[in-house]
Amino acid sequence: MEYFDSFKTKNGVTRLPGFLFKEAHLSNVMVTWVEMEPGSVLPEHSHAHEQISLVVQGKLELTIGGNTRIMEKGDVAIVPSNVVHSGRVLDVFTIAVDAWNPIREDYIATHS
C-alpha cells in the first residue's frame, strides 16, 4: 500500500469538458481534486453520495437546493444526498477538493 501521493503529479480524468478529476481513496473515504477551466459548466444533477467541497483556488458559482452563492478560496459547500446542484466556473482557473461518502466507485481512476 502507498501511504503518500501527490495531486501535483497524478494523472487526472476529464469527466466533463473543462473539469479534470484526480482522486485518492480508501475503502470508506474519498477525496477528489478537481481542476476547472474558466467558463466551464457543471450541469444540474444529484447523486446518493454526500459531498463537501472546499475551494482552494479561484472562483465559481454554485447552486445547491435552489440556493446560489459565489464560492472563493476557503469557502465550503455542503451537498446532502440527492440534493440537486449545479455550477459554473467564473473567469479564473479554479481548484476544489471534494470529500465523498460513500466513495464514488465511478470516480476511481484506472490509472494514477
Domain ranges (residues) in the chain? 14-107
The torsion angles phi and psi of 16, rounded to 5 degrees, stand at -145, 155
At the top level of CATH, the class of 14-107 is: mainly beta
Q: What is the pLDDT of residues 3-24, one digit of tens each?
A: 999 999 999 999 999 999 999 9
Distance CA 98, CA 100 (A): 6
pLDDT at residue 109 tops 80 = no
pTM for the whole thing? 0.93
Q: What is the pLDDT of residues 26-62, one digit of tens each?
A: 999 999 999 999 999 999 999 999 999 999 999 999 9
Classify strands 94-101 and 50-57 as parallel, antiparallel or unpaired.
antiparallel
pLDDT at residue 112 tops 50 = no
The torsion angles phi and psi of 105, rounded to 5 degrees, stand at -55, -35
H/E element holding 94?
Answer: strand 94-101
